[in-house]
Structure 1
Amino acid sequence: MSTMNISLPDTLKSFVDEQVSQRGYGTSSEYVRELIRRDQDRLHLRGLLLAGASTAPAAPADGAYFEGLRDRVRKVAKAGAQG
């Protein structure tokens, strides 16, 4: 694992220390790693949303569409329970 040192103003350092204490992180590094992971997830989701927005519209998601999804989930759950 690589090491990175960062400088924070006292107010931000106090905030980080408070978050570590209140949210159950073992160290400030764990807290910062979690923030970075969340940012990665947010950026990934944003990319997926933008990609979806740039595609042609699909069929509307009406009641029949959602009932079809429920049927598929039920079939998979039933198959998993049987075997």
Structure 2
Amino acid sequence: MSRNTMSFALPESMREYIDARVSDGSYGNTSEYLRELIRRDQREQAAQRLRDLIADGLASGERREATDDVISELRERALGADA
């Protein structure tokens, strides 16, 4: 795992909050706390992307029966888009 560091300024109240979360045993250290916040944000962004894709699909028009032919057509279109 790469160990890149970042430096940034925080208001004192935020630093105190982070220190309290670490002190109460919720996190081992400040870095662990920040990594967990980033992972949580990544999950939330992925979930939002999925919700957006579902909404786009629902708004895309009339539904089609998912027959083998339709699935094959969609697979071909998807693979062709990468080419």
> CA separation in 1, counterparts of 2:24 and 2:54?
38
- Structure 1 gap segments, 5+ residues each: 59-83
Q: Indicate the percent of aligned positions where both proteins have the same amino acid.
A: 38
- Alignment coverage as a number of residue pairs: 58
Tell me the TM-score normalised to structure 1 length.
0.63
Note the alpha carbon deviations across 1:23-42, whole angstroms, 9 max, x for none.
43111110000000000000
Please, which moves more after superposition, 49-58 or 38-47? 49-58
What do you get for the CA RMSD once the two structures are aligned? 1.6
- SS for the counterpart of 1:24 is coil
- SS for the counterpart of 2:9 is coil
- SS for the counterpart of 1:17 is helix
- Structure 2 gap segments, 5+ residues each: 64-83
Give the structure 1 partner of residue 10 of structure 2.
8
Tell me the TM-score normalised to structure 2 length.
0.63
Task: Name the structure where helix makes up a greater proportion of residues.
Answer: 1
* 2:20 aligned with 1:18: yes
